Structure 1
Amino acid sequence: MTGTRRRSYDEGCIAAHALDLIGDRWALLVVRELLLGPRRFSELRAGLPGISANILTRRLEEMASAGLVRAEAPGYGLTPAGEGLWPVLKALCRWGGGQPGHDPTLFMSPTALMLSMRAMCARHRAGRHEVDFVLEGQAFTVVTGPGSYRLERGLAGAPLRFEGGTNAVAVAVYGPLPLHQTAAGLIRFDGGIEEGQAFLDLFSLHIAEGGAAPVSRSG
């Protein structure tokens, strides 16, 4: 990759400096798609269908020049500086979930949904859950415990499993209906329905003051 000249705010403000590095359109979403590990160029395109191949190539070059992305066979991965942007994306998820105008019917990548759940989980109420997700051919495992949340690519043979289209699974996770209704025809769920509902009750798009999730949807 060759270095490219980036536009700058030409300010000494550290916030402006940060925006010089990640403020271009698509940059943070490229980071999002790489946060769970390296991806091929074609996988990045699949997770960002609104970006052209030329623009994605340019963003990758710019982000490599800024020290955020590096080439990793067979694709691209994040540097430690790039991985350090997770708190920024987490804050955007938590802030954006409470703002009007969000349209959950628009395209959502599997990685985007899984990271939104990582951001929005009420960890302080979490019990021990191990859950597999299969979203449009991509596999993930989530393990929760009191105050903890671990998300990885791949399947663990967990006792709970959700499978389906990303937007459909998002409805099960964030929607108002209990699991036994959303699982009927919309997605596939395997495992104990009560434990599955207890897991879903940890998530909400609207974070209450103090970080608490809303009341249970199970009854």
Structure 2
Amino acid sequence: MLGPRRFGAIRDGLPGISANILTRKLEDLEATGIVVREQLPDPVRVQLYRLTGAGLGLWPVIRALCRWGAGMPGHDPRLFISPTSLMLSMRAMCARERAGRHVAAMVLGGEPFVITTAPGQFRVERGTTGAALRFEGGTNAMAMAIYGPMPLAQTAQGVIRFDGDLADGQAFVDLFSLRPAGPA
């Protein structure tokens, strides 16, 4: 959902899955038209997996599952979450109707993302260009800073690194909750 990925990057985001199982799952997704495998030209010669239009069309289902899962009694936000999964979670859990204009860079374990919000809108892309707010840290620490009960001023003192206007950063963080207020 955030652009083409190498096999290794996909596997890194799914701890515990074997290469054989992941290969079979990707082949199944390719056979059903959800992903397509692409080969980059020389000198890179890297194979990537990219969602097709049908794969991208699954976002409403994935969003509903994210929101449903966050409300389940067994949900444990302390468990491992990959950088891409956190970005998708934030996309699913953002209160777009309350969103102000923010451009926030998130660097999660070295993986850069930029999130842009505006009233009724949320967009996430890879990169950090043009961000007035910058959050940096491990993915689980960032999830705690975004979804946890502590104000940004506290989490920015040792849990994560934050650069930018603190009031704007807090307004951005306040857009996200693991307990959605309304229907998906």
User: Which range, TM-score by smaller chain?
Assistant: over 0.9
Higher relative contact order (CA 8 A, sep 6+): 2
1:65 to 2:50 alignment: no
| Regions of 4+ moved over 4 Å | none
Indicate the SS of the match to 1:95: helix
Alignment length (residue pairs):
177
**Counterpart position of 1:76:** 49
Question: Any unmatched runs of 5+ in structure 1?
Answer: 1-34, 212-219
Q: CA RMSD in A?
A: 1.1
What is the alpha-carbon distance in structure 2 between the residues aligned to residue 114 and residue 43 of structure 1?
15
1:116 to 2:82 alignment: no
* Aligned-pair CA distance for 1:209: 3.4
- Equivalent residue in structure 2 for 1:135, among 108, 111, 128: 108
Indicate the SS of the match to 1:51: coil
Question: Any unmatched runs of 5+ in structure 2?
Answer: 40-46
**Counterpart position of 1:28:** none
**Counterpart position of 1:38:** 4
What is the alpha-carbon distance in structure 2 between the residues aligned to residue 95 and residue 62 of structure 1?
25
Identity of aligned residues (%): 65
Indicate the SS of the match to 1:197: helix
Aligned residue runs from structure 1 range 128-207, under 5 A = 128-207=101-180
**Counterpart position of 2:44:** none
Structure 2 letter corresponding to 1:168? A
TM-score scaled by length of structure 1: 0.78
* Aligned-pair CA distance for 1:210: 5.9
What is the alpha-carbon distance in structure 2 between the residues aligned to residue 209 and residue 71 of structure 1?
37
Cα deviations by residue, 1:162-205 (Å, 9 ceiling, x for unpaired): 00000000001000010001111110000010000001111100
TM-score scaled by length of structure 2: 0.93
What is the alpha-carbon distance in structure 1 between the residues aligned to residue 66 and residue 87 of structure 2?
12
